[in-house]
Amino acid sequence: MNGLEISPFIKDLPKEVNGDDGRPTFLEAYFAGCQVLITEDDFYELSMEYFARCAEMNVRYCEPFFDTQAHTERGISASTVVNGYLRAQQDGARKYGVKSNWIFCFLRDRPLQEGLEAYTAVRPWATLRDGTGKGLFHAVGLAANEFEKPPLLFEMGFRMAKEDGLHVTLHCDVDQKDAVEHVREAIFDVCGGQGTERIDHGLNVLDKPDLLPALKQRGIGLTLCPHAYHRRQATEILFPKIKKLIDEGVQLCINSDDPTYMHDVWIDGNMQKIYTFCALSKADMVKLARNSVDMCWADKDTKKEIIAQLDHIDVSV
């Protein structure tokens, strides 16, 4: 990371948890890396590389997160971004057999109005309730630095998306400032009190007694990325938490979090960590894979196809 130039867009970000050791934080590195994405072909090629890696790991379906604000800030049009992604969505399914539905993110360290304008600009590329739209994305979420930026700040954006027939998932990172309160808002308050449909990360649900029962009662799933947390938590602390969630019957699935920035640990590496450090069986791993199908927002035929393949896995050997 030496010599990494930090964009003025993110130079004033508060440091992440555990202090500042002089190196760029993940978010600084991420947004600096985004600066090489300029043309429609850049966004297309980035996505096709991703789908090629997915195919190597036998991933059949994925839901990538994206935003446009980090690019429009640099003078790149929103249409340049989403047209590149849309071509890749179509070609990734055709060339690699990897289907995808994408998730548009509001950047939570940017003003709400800017996020609403960003959503309005890309709305024609969504899968809209009335059957129009180009079908790139079918959900909205949150991204970027959540320091003192609780989910409810973006309630207007969530409501707009719900009115359009889109899904909502909320990023509640682990052990950040006010992490427990962010999880509470995601469960009880957003979307007019209905709560979010999924929580990305959300491991701090274990830190307050009333949150876990409410999470289960409302059927809100967690998308966990074990390696991202393992960077900061000891094995003997982290994995018992995840095992508790599994044992409690929480609907959760295993995912990868910005793998090229996280020591190149992808979904297979995250699944291996869970299998090893939570001492799970092969049947447990198939159940987690089924959870991911149940929790995702793929069409019925795609889900049926993947479930049929999971049903044929021999877990006795």
Written as tens digits, the pLDDT of the chain (317 aa) is: 233 333 434 444 444 444 455 556 766 776 677 778 899 999 999 999 999 999 999 999 999 999 999 999 999 999 999 999 999 999 999 999 999 999 999 999 999 999 999 999 999 999 999 999 999 999 999 998 899 999 999 999 999 999 999 999 999 999 999 999 999 999 999 999 999 999 999 999 999 999 999 999 999 999 999 999 998 899 999 999 999 999 999 999 999 998 988 889 999 999 999 999 999 999 999 999 999 999 999 999 999 999 999 999 999 87
Domains in the chain and their CATH numbers?
A: 37-304 (3.20.20.140)
**18 phi-psi bin (left φ>0, alpha ψ -120 to 50, beta other):** left
**What pTM was computed for the model?**
0.91
Residue 223 in contact with residue 200, Cβ under 8 Å?
yes
Residue with tokens 């072909």: 41
Q: Residues near 71 by Cβ (< 8 Å), separated by ≥ 6? A: 34, 37, 78, 80, 81
**Rounded Cα gap, residues 22 and 85, in angstroms:** 34
Q: Which of 219, 220, 137, 210 is nearest to 172 (CA)?
A: 220
pLDDT score for 22? 59
DSSP annotation string for 117-161: HHHHHHGGGB--TTS-S--SEEEEEEES--TT--GGGGHHHHHHH
Residue 38 in contact with residue 76, Cβ under 8 Å?
yes
Residue 292 in contact with residue 310, Cβ under 8 Å?
no
Dihedral of the CA atoms 51, 55, 61, 63 (nearest 10)? -30
- Enter the tokens of residue 22: 């002089």
**Rounded Cα gap, residues 250 and 86, in angstroms:** 33
pLDDT score for 223? 98
**Rounded Cα gap, residues 110 and 128, in angstroms:** 25
How many angstroms separate the Cα of 181 from the Cα of each of 14, 175, 203? 19, 11, 12
**Rounded Cα gap, residues 224 and 242, in angstroms:** 9
pLDDT score for 262? 85
Give, in degrees to the nearest 5, the angle at Cα 303 between 301 and 307.
120
pLDDT score for 307? 97
